[in-house]
Amino acid sequence: MQILIAHNSKEPIYEQIFHQIKKSILANELPAGYALPSMRNMAKDLEVSVITTKRAYEELEKAGLIYSVVGKGSFVSEQNIEMIIERKQKVIEEQLSQAIKNSKEIGLSLDELKEIMTLLYEEMD
């Protein structure tokens, strides 16, 4: 598992941790049942406070991505992964529809739109 923290980012550190773990879970890099490091251990490795990792884990739990067993730790949830991906795809479809609508308004062709998207997609890697 890889987590990179930017201390000078505007995004709070617990959100950075939340998003990166979420991404790893949705990409199936962290399979269901995977045992996450303890909050205290992660805090030490990332050189952040325990309350920060605690908040990140709480948010992940709220989102149904992980679950905790008292005394044993936190694990990646089994259920829902497909549902989450499906939900995410729906959001993507909606966002793309909006982009297509905007493109049509200014007469942008499909090829031109694809070109913009390819550029942006590659930029983000």
Partner 1 sequence: MESIIQFTNVNKAFNDFAIKNLTFEIKKGFVTGFVGANGTGKSTAIKLLMNLLQPDSGEVKVFGLNYKDHEKVIKQKIGFVYDDHVFYEHLTLQEMKNLIQPVYTQWDDELFYKYVEQFQLPLKKKKLKTFSKGMMMKASLAIALSHHAELIIMDEPTAGLDPVFRREFLNLLHEIVQDGEKTIFFSTHITSDLDRIADYIVFLHNGELIFMHEFYTIAEKYVLVKGGLDLLDPDTEKEFIAIRKTKMGFEGLSSNKGRVMQLFGDLALYETATLEDIMFYTKKGGEKGVSIS
- Cα–Cα dist 96/93, whole Å: 5
The answer to the question of residue 43 lying near partner 1 (CB under 8 A) is yes
Q: How far is the CB of 30 from partner 1 (least distance, A)?
A: 23
The answer to the question of residue 48 lying near partner 1 (CB under 8 A) is yes
Phi, psi of 87 (to 5 degrees): -60, -40
Q: How far is the CB of 62 from partner 1 (least distance, A)?
A: 16
Q: How far is the CB of 106 from partner 1 (least distance, A)?
A: 25
Phi, psi of 28 (to 5 degrees): 65, 20
Q: Which stretch binds partner 1 (CB under 8 A): 37-45, 60-68, 79-87, 92-100?
A: 37-45
The answer to the question of residue 13 lying near partner 1 (CB under 8 A) is yes
For 65, the 3-state DSSP assignment is coil
Asked if 26 contacts 88 with a C-beta cutoff of 8 angstroms, the reply is: yes
The answer to the question of residue 3 lying near partner 1 (CB under 8 A) is no
Asked if 74 contacts 56 with a C-beta cutoff of 8 angstroms, the reply is: no
- Binding-site member from 16, 52, 74, 77 for partner 1 (CB under 8 A): 52
Give the other-Cβ count within 10 Å of 25's Cβ.
Answer: 23
Sign of dihedral through CA atoms 105, 110, 112, 116? positive
The answer to the question of residue 42 lying near partner 1 (CB under 8 A) is no
Q: How far is the CB of 57 from partner 1 (least distance, A)?
A: 13
- Interacting residue ranges for partner 1, rule: CB under 8 A: 7, 10, 12-14, 40-41, 43-44, 47-52, 55
